[in-house]
Every structure is written in structure tokens, then in C-alpha cells.
Structure 1
Amino acid sequence: MDLPLKHSDSARDRRTSLVIFIGCFVVMVAVLALTPGALGVAAPQRLKFDLAPLLQQSWLVQFHVWTVATALLLGPVQFVLPKGTGAHRVFGWIWASAMLATAIATFFIRDMRDGQLSPIHIFSLMALIGVPLAVWLARVKAMSHARAMTGLYIGLVIAGVTAIAPGRVIWAMFFS
């Protein structure tokens, strides 16, 4: 039997959500700023969108990119939605499913290092452990659920920034 979450959406909760959202945004900007050439490359005159480089990849890479995009877009939505609501739960399950699916998919994508796992796979391992843990924390109504989800989202953003490197699919979709 599912018990409803009894989170109150107080002014303090909304401020906390806003701080988390702003913190994630700041981390994303900082990672972009610290990635050599990333901000200069993303200048509007060079920015474009072309799905062809993605569509030339295997179905597994395409699946990975779509699940990552889903998680990246739903993360900020989750941070600002009132906690404990039906919408927060539905989007939370979609986000958690996308994170788990993308983490599992990465273990089968080994094009870059001659079939070997790369250091970025540590984020996949973190997601495989962290997502079920964060869901469990929500089920037991632990306040650390928000911290776990925030950490997972920050890890997703950091891992995503590495996909912007020249020669990678995302680079080709937006900058070549």
C-alpha cells in the first residue's frame, strides 16, 4: 500500500528548491567555463542543430542520447515542482527510469577506447547505485532524498559536458 508523501510545500521548501536549481545552474556554467574553449565554441554564430550525426550512430548511442536529454530536461523541472505532488512523483519516476536506462546503456557503448570502459563510466556506476538509493530515501521520507537527487543531477551535467568535446556526437550535432 502506497502511503502519500506528506511534504509541505512551505516557503522554506520553495527557497530550498530554488537554491538547488540555482546551484545546479552555477555548477553547469562553471564546468562549461572550466572546459577549455567550450564557451567560445558555443557562440551563437557557430551554434546549430543537426540530428544527422546522431542518426548515423548505432541505436544504442541514439537511445543513450535521448535518455540523457530526458533526464537533463526533467531535472530542473523536478527541482521547482512542489514536492510530494503527483506531478513530482510521475516526473520523478520518468527521470529515475531515464537515468537508469542511460547508465545501463553506457556499459555497452565502448566505441572510444577500443572496447574498454572509460573514466566517464564512473558516473554510470554512481547512477546505478545512487538512483535506487535516492528512490528508497524518498519512500522512507528521508530529507537526504533531495541531496541524493541533486548529486545525481550534478553528476549527469558533469558527464554531459564531456560529450561536448570535439569529435564526439554532441559536438557534431551543434558545432560542426
Structure 2
Amino acid sequence: MPDTLTATLTQTRPADRTSPFAPARRERAALVAGAAVGAAVLLAAARATQAGFLLPAMSRDAWLAVHLCSVIPALPLGAVVLLGRKGDARHRLLGRIWAVLMLVAALSSFGLKGLTGSFSPIHLLSILVLVSVPRGVVQAVRGNIAAHRRTMTFVYFGLVGAGAFTMLPGRLLGLALFH
């Protein structure tokens, strides 16, 4: 006789579309947050470039240049992948590009130690990305699309959160945005 608790825990039911945690609602929330953070990052980068301190900072610090060149396109591209049609060739191609951008951003973050001179709690997010992105890819390859969707949405929310973190006072883009 099957274990009733196991059967209950593994039983699947259709997603509750009215729940604030339904996949479509999570993805829309990710888009709104990503658009806001993306706009702030672009504005800050433009102001920092205009003020003349972003390009010199990037030329002095290759890690910063690589990081910004991977993370800035990852914000809008991630939103396109999340909100676009799923499973087709376009989704897979853009998803692969986004995954590579995320891995490059995570790896390059370990070269950035600006606030403390050493690693900071935000670097834990980089470790999470380095684990979660390959996991999400494997989930898709194995056909576990629901898990893939959750994992990649979670990674995108992490990207948006990290982008928001860069706007804090004392951070390079935060200085550009608020001064």
C-alpha cells in the first residue's frame, strides 16, 4: 500500500492562477522590477560616463568592465526570455545567451571587492548563480520545465536584486545616480 503522506506530497495539481506566486504573476513581477532596475542602471551608467568616471574606472579595472558588459544586457534579455514564447528555438537561443551572460557576471564579480576590499555578502549571490544556472539548464534538458521555470525566474530576481544593490550610496552606480 503506498505511503499516503508521500502520495500527498508528490501529488501535482494545476497552478492556481489567482495566487500571487503563480508563474505568470512571478514573471510579470520580474519584468516590472527588472525594467525599473535596468532603467536605473542605464541612467547611472550614462551619468557616470557623462561625469567622466565610469570609463576610466572600467579601463583601470578589467573585472568591472567584464562585469558591466555582461550584466547590463542580461537585465533586458532575461525579461525577454521570461516573457516570450517558451520552448521554441528563439527561447532556447536567447536563454543560452542569457545563461552565459549570467555565468560571466557571476564569475567576474569575484574580481570586484570595492566596498570592503574583500568579498561581501553579495558574492553569495554569485555562488548561487554559478549553481542555479547549470541546474536550470539541466532541468530543461531533462524535461522538468516547471522546475526550470522556477529556477530561472529565481535567478532573474537575484539579478534584479543585485542590480538594486548597486544603487546604494557609496557604490559606483549609486554615486552616479544620486549625485
TM-score by length of 1: 0.74
Tell me the SS of whatever aligns to 1:24: helix
Q: 2:126 aligns with which of 106, 115, 124?
A: 124
Are residues 25 and 80 of structure 1, via their aligned partners in 2, closer, same or farther at CA, if it must alter by over 3 Å? closer
**Residue 111 of structure 1: CA displacement?**
2.4
Q: 1:66 aligns with which of 50, 56, 69?
A: 69
Letter in 1 for 2:70: T
The residue aligned with 2:154 is 151
Q: Distance in 2 between matches of 1:91 and 1:101?
A: 15
Q: 2:94 aligns with which of 91, 95, 101?
A: 91
The residue aligned with 2:7 is none
**Residue 20 of structure 1: CA displacement?**
2.9
Higher Rg of the two aligned structures: 2
**Residue 161 of structure 1: CA displacement?**
0.7
**Residue 109 of structure 1: CA displacement?**
1.3
The CA deviation string for residues 83-114 of structure 1, in whole angstroms up to 9 with x for no partner, is: 11111111101100000001001111112212
Structure of higher RCO (CA pairs closer than 8 Å, 6+ residues apart) = 1
Equivalenced residue count is 148
**Identity rate of aligned residues, in percent?**
32
Structure 2 stretches lacking a partner, 5+ long: 1-16
Q: Distance in 2 between matches of 1:47 and 1:130?
A: 28
Which stretches of structure 1, 4 residues or longer, exceed 4 Å deviation after superposition?
25-29
Which has more helix, going by share of residues? 2
Q: 1:162 aligns with which of 159, 165, 168?
A: 165
CA RMSD of superposed structures (Å) = 2.7
Q: 1:20 aligns with which of 18, 26, 43?
A: 26
Q: 2:79 aligns with which of 76, 79, 95?
A: 76
The residue aligned with 1:49 is 46
The CA deviation string for residues 106-161 of structure 1, in whole angstroms up to 9 with x for no partner, is: 111112212x1100001100000000000101111102100000000011111111
The residue aligned with 1:110 is 113
Structure 1 stretches lacking a partner, 5+ long: 1-11, 33-41
Letter in 1 for 2:56: Q
TM-score by length of 2: 0.73
The CA deviation string for residues 67-86 of structure 1, in whole angstroms up to 9 with x for no partner, is: 11111111110112111111
Tell me the SS of whatever aligns to 2:116: coil
